[in-house]
Structure 1
Amino acid sequence: MARIRAAFHDPDGTRYGIPTYWWKGAPPGYATRRQLTAAGLRPGGQPIAALVLWQGVGGTRTAHLYRLDLAAPKRTATPAQRTAIDKALTARRTCRTCHQVRPYFIPRSLGECLACAFPQEDAA
């Protein structure tokens, strides 16, 4: 085992206070938040079960691991929530000046679509 891996290998949690493994050295049954999301799961309020430590740019990097058996399924938005999201996104694409729905989000710095903010460039 390389020295750097040996420095991060603490499955009992005596050195770091929580079970710690090196990069790609965690046993099955643990997953990071991103891995849970990819599997359609979420931590579900469980505490951090273990850590993964590795040497990265700027020092030691950390990833939290959660237990797969305690993970809960991801929640999905209700139809009413999806309708509200669609309305909000449409409002972000609607120009206040010409009231047209654009295929891009209206820049907040301008407050109107690009055609209304720069009419001389649109005519050219």
Structure 2
Amino acid sequence: MSRIRAAYFDPDGTRYGIPTYWWRGAPPGYATRRQLTAAGLRPGGQPVAAQVLWRGVGGTRTAYLYRVDLAAPKRTATPAQLRAVRAALTARRTCPTCGTVRPYYIPRSLGECLACAFPQEDAA
């Protein structure tokens, strides 16, 4: 085992407090949040079960691992929630001055669409 791997290998958690493994050295049954998301799962309120440590830019990097057998299925949005999100995004594209729904989000700095904010440029 290399020195780097030996430095980050603590399966009992005596040195780091929780079981620690090197990059790509975690046993099966553990997954990161991204891996759980890709599998259609979420941590579901469980605490961090282990961690992976590796040397990276700026020092030692950490990735927390969760147990796959305790993970819960991802929740899906209800039709009412999807309608609410769609309405909110449409409201962000609707100009309060002219009432036109634009193909872009209205800049908050202007408070209205570009055609209403700069009418002389639109006429040219």
Give me the identity figure in percent.
85
Q: Counterpart of 2:110?
A: 110
Q: Counterpart of 1:75?
A: 75
Write the distance in 2 (CA, Å) between the matches of 1:56 and 1:122: 50
Write the distance in 2 (CA, Å) between the matches of 1:109 and 1:25: 49
Letter paired with 2:19: P
Gap regions ≥5 residues in structure 2? none
Gap regions ≥5 residues in structure 1? none
Q: Counterpart of 1:84?
A: 84
Please show how residues 19-58 of structure 1 align to structure 2 within 5 Å.
Answer: 19-58=19-58
Write the distance in 2 (CA, Å) between the matches of 1:118 and 1:25: 58
1:45-78, Cα deviation, whole Å (9 max, x unpaired): 0010000001111111111000000000000111
3-state SS of the aligned residue for 1:69?
A: helix
Write the distance in 2 (CA, Å) between the matches of 1:103 and 1:40: 32
Write the distance in 1 (CA, Å) between the matches of 2:90 and 2:59: 44
Q: Counterpart of 2:11?
A: 11
1:98-122, Cα deviation, whole Å (9 max, x unpaired): 1010111111111011111112222
CA RMSD of aligned residues (A): 0.8
Number of matched residues? 124
TM-score, structure 1 normalization: 0.96
Write the distance in 1 (CA, Å) between the matches of 2:120 and 2:23: 56
Write the distance in 1 (CA, Å) between the matches of 2:123 and 2:6: 67
3-state SS of the aligned residue for 2:69?
A: coil
Write the distance in 1 (CA, Å) between the matches of 2:114 and 2:5: 54
3-state SS of the aligned residue for 2:70?
A: coil
Letter paired with 1:24: R
Offset of residue 123 of structure 1: 2.0
Q: Counterpart of 2:121?
A: 121
